[in-house]
Amino acid sequence: MSLPTLQEYQEAIQRPDLCFKDPDLKKGKTIPGVFGLPKVISGGFAGVFQVKKRKKNYAARCFLRVVDDTKKRYKAIHEFLHRKRINCVIKFDYIDKGILVREKWHPILKMEWLEGETLSEYIEKNRHNRKAMTEMATKFKALVEELHNRGISHGDLHDQNIMVVAGELKVIDYDAMYVPKLKGRGSSEIGHTHYQHPERRLSHFGPYIDNFSEWVIYISLKALAKDPKIWDVVKGGDQCLLFRKTDFQDPENSQAFNALYSIEDDNLRLLVDTFKDAVYTYNLEDIPSIIDEESIAQRHRRLFREVAEVAEVPQVGMGGLKVQYTPGDSSWIWDNKEVDYKRFTSTSGLVRVAALLPLIYLIIALVLFVIDKLPSDNSALITIGAPAIFLLLPASYQINPLVRDRHAKKRELNKLNDKTKALREKIKEELETITQFKAEVNNEITKLGDKIASQKNQESFELRKIESNHFSRVAKIEETLKDLKNKEKDAGKNLLKENRERYIVEKLRSHRLGAPGGPNLGLVKGFFLSIFGIRSAADFTDINISKNLFMDNGARFRLRNGGTTTIWWLKLQQIRSLREWHKKLIKLYEGEAPKKLSSSEKKKISLKYRGLKKSLVEEKKNVKKDIQEEKKKIKESYRAQIDTLKGEIELKKKLHDIEVKKTQSNLDMLCEEINELDWGMNSIKHQLRGYSEISFINYLRQALTS
């Protein structure tokens, strides 16, 4: 059945009261557009008219393209949507006799008219608003999750089929929608090419068919939320968002992919990597949905943890090395050891004179001053001599062996203390050096780990690319095999049809027109019919009544050989009798005709196609073998590169361990040296405790009392 054109629909819909059966549409009014004709929004599959009835607005969707099972599809979709409440989908009614065009009824869809804007219009207006783009990405993900939770898919998700209504998202155009009841069928269309996988075919139909287009829209929204300038960079908005079908055909040289990778955002980069991987996936059922974003991120983190475990280096710091010196820990030994106290014993006569001489000098000088006998010209001499006499005792104190010994020990103690400080500075420098070395090693290994992860990702892309490159060959072989199977099936059907026709014709030949039990035509009319080649029921396939200007009734015979002939001298009753006789015989022998092929006939047909199928199966096997061999080469190549990187990591770890061991050895030597110095300092401190009585006062007292 052919469908009206868009212009024919427009002409008919000018009178809703005449063209519609539905009471709401029948009483409504259309919205005028160009040249006064009803305004229409047209697509490749249908035209949509707005019909207004008082305060309510309806959409009348008129089909422009014939799909054999449209009615069955929309019935299944209608039943599902009316059983389930899905916020993002608008319920509709499929009206078989919906609109009358040129005296013929055609189906339409009736649904609520949405007042809003398409997703592309919304993005055009709000693309510089990062918050709005982020919110829209979240809402789109929620829409996708709702569809997945119901086990359905839209089938043609793109910017024109998603409406923004009062800030919420709604999907329209359900021609390609999948619902569980349609399982096993093919798709009615493959969708907008800027939003579909390059390998999308009509045979792809299931809850997974939106997964690819979900990524196209979601990544576009996420990218605009990060960098609105990318819209101008890739010239978005030309029946697309950021991606076009050419980006899917050659991702490595794609302007869109390169622009997305230039945005500094790790989460976005992960999404783009995942989508790029999907482009190289030839099995569309393997493409994940955007609702799997969190699990994808977890797998990514797990991959990097695995890499990190391979590249793990122990942390090196103050706690990573043993610094074993314990100042003061040996003091308890000296605390329990007897102190050898030193004291001034008897003093020499010279010391006693040095102690008494200043006193005698002062007494004499004082007496002379009192009696005024101190010569004035000798006062300077006396003044100078007094300090000299007074310094004799301290001088004798300083040259005392005990005093000199104590000073020597103090100098030795200070010297050991300075050495200890210098060694501690060396320990600090060693620790700082090894800490810096550890940081450098960790940094180098992290970079190597990143390279390993990058190599693994690249390997995955290369493997996907190989599958994608060979997919067309495999798909072509599978399509050819499918065609051969259909041809074999059709050959069987055709042969069976021929056998049945041959059987029926043979049986019909035995029923001659003049034979008993046949139509009562008479000998003369039977003879004249035989002249025209009509002798038995097998000689014609159908008979109809024909009229012209001169004759009322004529018998128009459709002959077995494909020709036709008209006989004007048969009565109407004879024509009808002849037709009923012929139909009765055909019905009889159709029931008797063979209903299946013989085993030999089946075998003959099977042998005809077996060789072709076998060669195609072998070719398919070889293609898959080629895929595996190419994959093996890729894996071996990347395994070698990854093993080299792992070897570098192990070398870094070994160098690290050697350096740590070397540093530990140096620290042990320094600590041992510090401990030895500490022992010596504690020994000197213990000895100095024995010099507590050695002081100038005690020295003076000893000199005066001895």
SS (H, E, C) 238-292: CCCCCCCHHHHHCHHHCHHHHHHHCCCCHHHHHHHHHHHHHHCCCCHHHCCCHHH
As given in the structure block, the two tokens for residue 476 are 């072509």
- The whole-number pLDDT of residue 378 equals 54
- The whole-number pLDDT of residue 385 equals 53
Q: Do domains 6-112 and 117-244+257-265 have the same CATH topology?
A: no
- The whole-number pLDDT of residue 376 equals 54
User: Within 10 A of 82 (CB to CB), how many other CB atoms are there?
Assistant: 11
Scanning the structure block, which residue is given the tokens 């389930």?
Answer: 84
Distances (CA, A) of 442 to 242, 469, 641: 39, 40, 20
Strands 540-546 vs 554-559: parallel, antiparallel or unpaired: antiparallel
Q: Where are the beta strands (DSSP E) in 547-604?
A: 554-559, 564-567
Strands 540-546 vs 168-171: parallel, antiparallel or unpaired: unpaired
Contact 682, 331 (CB under 8 A): yes
- The whole-number pLDDT of residue 215 equals 96
Strands 117-118 vs 162-165: parallel, antiparallel or unpaired: antiparallel
- DSSP assignment of 589-600, as one string? HHHHS--S--HH
Alpha carbons 265 and 201: distance in angstroms, whole number: 34
Alpha carbons 693 and 237: distance in angstroms, whole number: 100
- The whole-number pLDDT of residue 441 equals 87
Amino acid in the structure at residue 411: R
3-state SS class at 30:
strand
Contact 306, 452 (CB under 8 A): no
As given in the structure block, the two tokens for residue 464 are 């996907």
Ranges under pLDDT 70 in the chain: 1, 68, 303-336, 346-359, 361-362, 365-366, 368-370, 372-390, 392-393, 471-472, 548-552, 703, 706
- Name the CA dihedral angle for 31, 36, 37, 41, rounded to a multiple of 10 degrees: -50
Distances (CA, A) of 424 to 288, 435, 659, 673, 683: 60, 16, 20, 10, 20
Per 3-state DSSP, what percentage of the chain is helix, strand, and coil (rounded to 5)?
Answer: 60, 10, 30
Listed by start position, the domains of the chain span 6-112, 117-244+257-265, 501-592
User: Within 10 A of 661 (CB to CB), how many other CB atoms are there?
Assistant: 11
Contact 350, 492 (CB under 8 A): no
Question: What does the H/E/C string look like for 447-501?
Answer: HHHHHHHHHHHHHHHHHHHHHHHHHHHHHHHHHHHHHHHHHHHHHHHHHHHHHHH
Which are the contacts of 689, defined by CB distance < 8 A and separation ≥ 6?
A: 339
Residue 170 phi/psi, 5° resolution? -130, 145
Instruction: Enumerate long-range contacts of 247-256, CB under 8 Å, 24 or more apart.
Output: 248/197, 248/198, 248/279, 249/198, 251/276, 251/279, 251/280
The CATH number of the structural domain formed by 6-112 is 3.30.200.20
- The whole-number pLDDT of residue 474 equals 76
Q: 117-244+257-265 belongs to which homologous superfamily?
A: Transferase(Phosphotransferase) domain 1 (1.10.510.10)
Alpha carbons 293 and 298: distance in angstroms, whole number: 9
